[in-house]
Structure 1
Amino acid sequence: MSKAPGMPSSSSSSPLTSQPPLSTASPPAMPLPLRTIPGSYGWPLLGPIFDRLDYFWFRGPANFFKKRMEKHKSTVFRTNLPPTWPLFLGINPNVIAVLDCKSFLHLFDMEIVDKKNVLAGDYMPSVKFTGNLRTCIYLDTSEPQHAKIKNFVIDILKRSSTVWLTELKANLDILFDTIETSISAKGSARLSFPLQKCLFNFLTTAIVGADPTTDPTIADSGYAMLDRWLALQILPTIKIGILQPFEEIFLHSFAYPFALVRGDYSKLYNFVEKHGNEVVQRGVNEFGLTKEEAIHNLLFTLGFNAFGGFSAFLPTLIGTITSDKTGIQEKLRKEVKEKIGSSSLNFESVKDLELVQSFVHETLRLNPPVPLQYGRARKDFQLSSHDSVYDIKKGELLCGYQPQVMKDSKVFEDPESFKAERFMGEKGRELLNYLYWSNGPQTGSTTESNKQCPGKDIVPLTSFLFVAYIFQRYESISGSSSSITAVEKAK
C-alpha cells in the first residue's frame, strides 16, 4: 500500500516465507508427525446446535475455543461455529479451527486458501445490503474485479493522506470539547455516540471526499445509519451479552432483511453519489469500475472497514488508558510530553513515540477489531502447527480465532498479560511479524494479490496520533471503554 508520510515501511515477501523462524534452537528441526485432526462435528442437527449454544451462551467465544483446545490437546481441531442449521437453512457450520501462529498463517496464503464469500464463514448477508453486488471483501484474489477494487481502495487511502491528519485533529477537538462539557454538566460523558459521530465526519471527509455538513440529515444521523446497516449484517454471528435466551431467539435465529435499512442506505448512497463524485469518477475512469461498483465499495470501505473497525477498536484503546492502574498512563504522557511537547502532531512526530506505538500494537494483539478469519481450502494440502502436520482436503473451511492465536505461548512471553512495552526494542519489533490483526502480518504489504487490509498502516498510525492527542491535551483521563468520568487538562 502506498503510505502516508511517516508510515512504517513494509516487506513485500509472501507471508509464509517472510516470517523469522519460530524456534532459534541450533539443532536441525525434526520432521513433524502427521496427525489426524482431532474433534468432531457431533450428531447431525444436534452437534451444531449444542456448539452454537456453547459458543453464544454457556461459554462465550473465548472459552469456547480455549476449552476445546485444552480438551483435544491441540491448536487444530474440528468443531461447529454459528450460525447453524436448521435456523439458518443451508449453512454448513463445520470448520477446522487453527489457533496458533503457525497454523493461522496458512489463512494468508492465497495459493492454498480461497476467500470467496467467507468473511463470516459459510454465512453471508444478502447482497442487497451492498446494491446486489459482492464488494471487495467477499471476492477471492482470483476474481478479476478484486484487483480493480483493491487498487481503488488503496488509491483512496493514499490520496486521503493529504487531509487525514487535519480532519482527524479537527474532529477530535469537537469530540473532547463535547466530553468536557458533558462531564461539567453531568459528572461523566458517554463515549459511544460522540465518538461515532467524530469518526463518521472524519472518515467520510477523508475517504469519500465529502463533507457531511453539506447535508443536514447525513450530518445528524449518518453514523446511526451506518450502525444500523452494519448491525443487521453481523448480528447473527456475534455475542451481544444480553439476557438469554432472548439473544438466541431474537438475534441469532434468522437473517435480517435489507428492507429494514433500505431507506438509510439509499440516503447514504445518494450522498456519496452527489458529494463524493470526484472519488467515484476516479474509480470509473482510472480503475475500470462502474459507477455503482465504485459507490457501493466506497460505502463498504467507509462503513464496514473504517467506521466499523475504528468503532470497535478505539473504545478498547480508550478504556485501556482510562482504567489503567499500572502507571502506563503516566509513562505514555511522559513520552508524548518529552518527544513532542506542545508541537503540532503529524505523521513524522509520532514515529519517535516507541512506547505509544508498542501500547497500540499490544492493544491490537489482545483486541483485534475482527476476531474471526476464514479461508476455504483451494486444494488438498498439509497444514502445520508447532508440533504436528494435518491433511486438509479441498473445500474444507479453516477458521482462526485471533484473540486466541495472539496468545500463542511459543511466540509471546506471558501471552495472557497486557504488556505495553512488548513491541519495544529489536526483539519487540521482530514480534510484529506475528501481529495479525489486519489479516496478515504487521510487517507485510497489502496488495491486489492478497487479502490484507488496505488500512494496515493507517489504522495503527491513526491510533498513535489518537493516543498522542490525548496526552497533549490532558495530564490524566479516567473512565472506561464506554464513558469518561474525569479529565485533568494539560498544564
Structure 2
Amino acid sequence: MSSPSSSNLPLKAIPGDYGLPFFGAIKDRLDYFYHEGTDEFFRTRMQKYQSTVFRSNMVPGPFIAPNPKVVVLLDAVSFPILFDTSKVEKKDVFVATYMPSTHFTGGYRVCAYLDPSEPKHTIFKGLFLSTLATRHNNFIPLYRSSLSQLFIELEDEFSSKGKVYFNDYCNKMSFNFLANLFCDRDPSSTILATDKATKFFDSFLFFQLAPLMTLGLPKILNFLEDIILHTFPLPSLLLKCDYKKFYKVFNENAKSILDEAESLGIKRDEACHNLVFLVGFNAYGGMKNTMPALIKWVGLAGEELHRQLAEEIRTVVRSEGGVTMAAMEKMSLTKSVVWEALRIEPPVAFQYGHAKEDLVIHNHDAAYEIKKGEMIFGYQPFATKDPRIFERPEEFVGDRFVGKEGEKLLKYVYWSNGREIDDPTVGNKQCPAKNLVVLLSRVMLVEFFLRYDTFTIEAGTLPLGSTATFTSMSKATSS
C-alpha cells in the first residue's frame, strides 16, 4: 500500500492541546497509567482528533520531566521522521522526555544519549560496530551453547512441575551469552556468571525506567505508586555498591575492547561505563524483551505454524549440514516469523526527538508543521500496526514477510530505531546490534524446533515486557 505524495496533501494545524499548565500533564499521566492504559490513551485521542498526528503531554511529566509536551505520531508514514538525524536531534531522549541521572553510568552521558552530531557518538558507535564485527564468528557457536544449557534447565523444571516459566531462564541464558561474547576470557568464575548478574541488571533497568511503568497494583494503591514511581526519580545510590562490582569485572575481563577505546582517544573509565550500559541496558534489556515476546507469539500462533517451522528448519539444516549463517538465510518462514514478532511487539515502544528546524511532516491524509525545538514522539506499536500498511495488523501472521511482496513491507518494520531495510552506521541512531538481534531470534527458533514439534504457553505481561510459561513441550518425533 502507499500514501499520497506529500505535495498533494492539505496543510493542517496539528490538533490537540496540552491542557492547563502543570495540571494538564498530571491529568494526562493519570489517564495514561490508571484511567485508560497506554494503548487506549493513544487510541481515544486518535479517534477524538480523527488524526494519527496530534499534541499531548507524555509521561512522566512534572517533576521528572519539566517539559512533557510532545507532538504524537501514530502511523507508519510520519514515524520515520524520528530516524532522520539531519532533521531531529536525539540528544538525551533515548528513553523518554527525561534522561536518567548520569550517576547510574559513572557520571558520563553514554552513547545512547548522544546525538550523532556530537563527536563522541561517532567514536563510540564505531567502537561498538567494530566490536560486533570482530566477534561475528562467535555469535552462533556461543549462542547455541547457551541455548543448549537453557533447554536442559527448562526440561528439568518442566519434568518436575509440568510447566515452566520461560523468562527467568531466558534472562540468565541471555546474560551468560552476552558476558561470554564481550569478555576476553571465560567469565564463569566471576559475578557475571551468577544469578546476581540478572538480578542487578533487572534493578538497573527498573531504576532508570520506573517513571514509565505501572506495577498493576490494586487501585487503592495507585496514588502511592504514582508518587513513588512517577514524581521523583529513584536514587542511583541504592545500586552504587553492586554497580562498582560489575564495572570492575568488565574492566578486568574486556581488555581488548577497552584497549581499542583508548587507542581511539576515549578514557578507559568512560569506555568501561559505556560497555556496562551497552551490555546491561541495551543488549540484556533488549533480549529480555525480545525473546519472551518471540516465544509468546509463536506459541499462541498454534500447531500448524509450528509444523511448518519445524519442517523448514529441519530440511534446511540437513541440506546445509548444520546451523550456519548460510542456512539461516534460506529459512524464509523462520525469518518472516522473527520480523513479524518484532513488528507486532517491538522491544522498544517509544521514540523521541527534537525538531532541529521548522519541519513539515505528513501522514496518510495531511501535512503538518512542527516548529524548531518541539519534541516529537512516536508510539511504535501503533506505527507498526498501521492498518493502511498492513492487512490484519493486530494479528500475528507468520508468513507476512515471505516472498517479494512480503519483503516490500520490511521498510515499515521499525523496531531498531530505523527501518528493517537499513543498517546501523556511526551517523544514525539505529541499534548497533540490530542484525545480531534478528540472527539470535532466528537461532532461538531453529534450536527450539530441532528439539520440539510443538508447544503451548500461558502468556502474560510485566512492566518490562511479555511473559511466557510453557504448559506443554512435545519433543521432536523426527529431525
State the partner residue of 2:125.
150
Q: Secondary structure at the match of 1:348?
A: helix
State the partner residue of 1:483.
469
Q: Deviations over 1:61-85 (max 9, x none)?
A: 1111111111101111000111112
Call closer, same or farther: CA 1:93–1:30 in 2, change over 3 Å.
closer
Greater displacement, 220-229 / 178-187? 220-229
Call closer, same or farther: CA 1:171–1:36 in 2, change over 3 Å.
same
What letter is aligned with 1:317? L
Of 91, 95, 103, which residue of structure 2 is paired with 1:120? 95
Question: Do 2:46 and 2:53's aligned partners in 1 also have CA atoms closer than 8 Å?
Answer: yes
Call closer, same or farther: CA 1:487–1:341 in 2, change over 3 Å.
farther
State the partner residue of 2:158.
183
State the partner residue of 1:7.
none
- Alignment of 1:462 with 2:440, yes or no, is yes
Distance (Å, rounded) in 2 between the aligned partners of 1:479 and 1:160: 34
Q: Deviations over 1:28-81 (max 9, x none)?
A: 886211100000001112211111011111111111111111110111100011
Distance (Å, rounded) in 2 between the aligned partners of 1:324 and 1:105: 29
State the partner residue of 2:359.
381
- Alignment of 1:397 with 2:375, yes or no, is yes
- Alignment of 1:206 with 2:176, yes or no, is no
What letter is aligned with 1:222? A
State the partner residue of 1:318.
295
Alignment of 1:326-365 (within 5 A): 327-341=304-318, 343-365=321-343
- Alignment of 1:105 with 2:83, yes or no, is no
- Alignment of 1:78 with 2:64, yes or no, is no
Question: Do 1:52 and 1:82's aligned partners in 2 also have CA atoms closer than 8 Å?
Answer: yes
Distance (Å, rounded) in 2 between the aligned partners of 1:40 and 1:153: 41
- Alignment of 1:22 with 2:2, yes or no, is yes
More helix by share: 2
Of 35, 38, 42, which residue of structure 1 is paired with 2:12? 35
Question: Do 2:337 and 2:398's aligned partners in 1 also have CA atoms closer than 8 Å?
Answer: yes
Q: Secondary structure at the match of 1:375?
A: strand
Distance (Å, rounded) in 2 between the aligned partners of 1:381 and 1:317: 37
Call closer, same or farther: CA 1:29–1:371 in 2, change over 3 Å.
closer
Distance (Å, rounded) in 1 between the aligned partners of 2:228 and 2:301: 36
What letter is aligned with 1:257? P
Q: Deviations over 1:65-122 (max 9, x none)?
A: 111111101111000111112x43x621100001111111111111110000011332
CA drift at 1:477: 2.2
State the partner residue of 2:206.
231
State the partner residue of 1:50.
27
Q: Deviations over 1:195-238 (max 9, x none)?
A: 11111110111134343312157534112111111110001112
Distance (Å, rounded) in 1 between the aligned partners of 2:181 and 2:218: 39
- Which runs of 5 or more residues in structure 2 are unaligned? 459-466
Q: Secondary structure at the match of 2:79?
A: helix
CA drift at 1:174: 0.8
CA drift at 1:341: 4.0
Distance (Å, rounded) in 2 between the aligned partners of 1:362 and 1:184: 31
Alignment of 1:282-293 (within 5 A): 282-285=260-263, 287-293=264-270
Alignment of 1:126-145 (within 5 A): 126-145=101-120
- Alignment of 1:242 with 2:228, yes or no, is no
Question: Do 1:41 and 1:47's aligned partners in 2 also have CA atoms closer than 8 Å?
Answer: yes
State the partner residue of 1:195.
170
Q: Secondary structure at the match of 1:251?
A: helix
Call closer, same or farther: CA 1:217–1:379 in 2, change over 3 Å.
closer
Distance (Å, rounded) in 1 between the aligned partners of 2:246 and 2:20: 45
TM-score, scaled to structure 1: 0.91
Question: Do 1:83 and 1:91's aligned partners in 2 also have CA atoms closer than 8 Å?
Answer: no
Give the count of matched residue pairs.
Answer: 465
Distance (Å, rounded) in 2 between the aligned partners of 1:134 and 1:486: 45
Distance (Å, rounded) in 1 between the aligned partners of 2:431 and 2:291: 17
Q: Deviations over 1:239-287 (max 9, x none)?
A: 33333315323322320111111112101100001111122111211x3
- Which runs of 5 or more residues in structure 1 are unaligned? 1-20
CA drift at 1:463: 0.4
Query: Identity, % of aligned pairs?
Result: 37
Call closer, same or farther: CA 1:415–1:145 in 2, change over 3 Å.
same
- Alignment of 1:301 with 2:287, yes or no, is no
Greater displacement, 249-258 / 28-37? 28-37
Distance (Å, rounded) in 1 between the aligned partners of 2:192 and 2:78: 47
Of 421, 428, 436, which residue of structure 1 is paired with 2:414? 436
CA drift at 1:344: 2.5
Alignment of 1:232-271 (within 5 A): 232-244=207-219, 245=222, 246-271=224-249
TM-score, scaled to structure 2: 0.93
Distance (Å, rounded) in 2 between the aligned partners of 1:121 and 1:376: 12
